[in-house]
Structure 1
Amino acid sequence: GMGFPECLKGGLEMSPEELLAHGVNQSTTHVDFMIGADDLNIWGISADGKETPIFVNGQWAWE
């Protein structure tokens, strides 16, 4: 879907062209998808190799 102009300083005052020039996504389609299973684990890995749990045993790691 669309990017959020309010996440960019001054974004709410910008034209669609200005927002696009600043990298704010413009889209007519938004797709959600669900993931999950009781035994699902997802880990993020940063550029320096640090591993961070995202989804552990079927639950978001921060829940």
Structure 2
Amino acid sequence: MVEGARVRLRGWQQAAIALGSAVGALVDPRRADLIAALGETTGKPAFERVLERMKRNPEGRV
């Protein structure tokens, strides 16, 4: 595996990848690479919201 192969993207680049992969996945749902790209570009904000809700809940903090 290549170390440090991650490429940082600007906001507009992430939006372009998310939009392109979403359209491509709708056209051909068998394209797992497009679905993965969509998840990678849109997953972080959703994860952060879930984490914040867990931190506010007593059961979630445990």
TM (normalized to structure 2)? 0.29
Greater CA radius of gyration, 1 or 2?
Answer: 1
The structure in which a higher percent of residues are helix is 2
Q: TM-score, normalised by structure 1?
A: 0.29
